[in-house]
Amino acid sequence: MDFYIGDTHFGHENIVKYCGRPFKHALDMEETIIKNWNSAVGKNDTVYHLGDFSLYYSNVEKQQMLDRLNGRKVLIIGNHDIDRIGHWKKLGVEAHKKFIVHDGLILSHVPIMFPELPNVHGHTHGNVHRGEIPEHGVFVCVSVEAIRYTPVNTQWIRDEIGLKLQEKAVKKEEKGG
């Protein structure tokens, strides 16, 4: 099964304060995310991490964190993931710059204006896009703040998009058109 998450910011003490995360400190946040991740994701699942995996972690610390998390990891490099693709590969992570297309979804760190496919992204933290249908595309944000600090699966994303499509249809019908 495939799962999606973004903006974990492991090792980033100030992210708790900056984003109003409901934790006392980064270690408390990390332990919660690890527990939630491993309760949702099995050893044979794939997790698409949509950027900003960690900050201020050494390679050894990144490897230790990765080893604690279930599943195969695919990373879309975010603005805080300053390491190159080769670095992540050495850590056992499949890494990509900018975006990939997977299962009919565009996976990116920052939102991408692309009307043909839904865009699953991170980066926006508490400023959440969840299936809005503007003329430039469909968006679902999987920053941890938007998904209760737990990876979500493809069905959850498709349900979010479907709900927003239904809401839009109802609003259009109520307006008479």
Work out the angle at residue 76's Cα, subtended by the Cα atoms of residues 146 and 9, and round it to the nearest 5 degrees: 50
Give the pLDDT score at 127: 65
Give the pLDDT score at 90: 93
Give the pLDDT score at 55: 80
Domains of the chain, CATH where assigned: 2-174 (3.60.21.10)
CA distance 130 to 94: 26
CA distance 42 to 132: 30
Give the pLDDT score at 110: 93
Give the pLDDT score at 136: 59
Task: Collect all residues with Cβ–Cβ distance below 8 Å to 76 and sequence separation of at least 6.
Answer: 48, 49, 50, 51, 95, 96, 97, 98, 99, 100, 107, 108, 109, 122
Give the pLDDT score at 92: 95
Give the pLDDT score at 138: 80
In terms of pTM, does the model score above 0.95? Answer: no
Contact 130, 160 (CB under 8 A): yes
Q: What is the pLDDT along the chain (177 residues), one digit of tens a residue?
A: 999 999 998 988 887 788 787 899 889 999 999 999 999 999 999 999 999 998 867 888 899 999 999 999 999 999 888 778 888 999 999 999 999 999 999 999 999 887 788 899 998 876 655 555 555 568 889 999 999 999 999 999 999 888 766 766 777 778 776
What distance, in Å, lies between the first and last C-alpha atoms of the chain? 39
What does the block give as tokens for 87? 């670095």
Give the pLDDT score at 124: 86
CA distance 169 to 161: 12
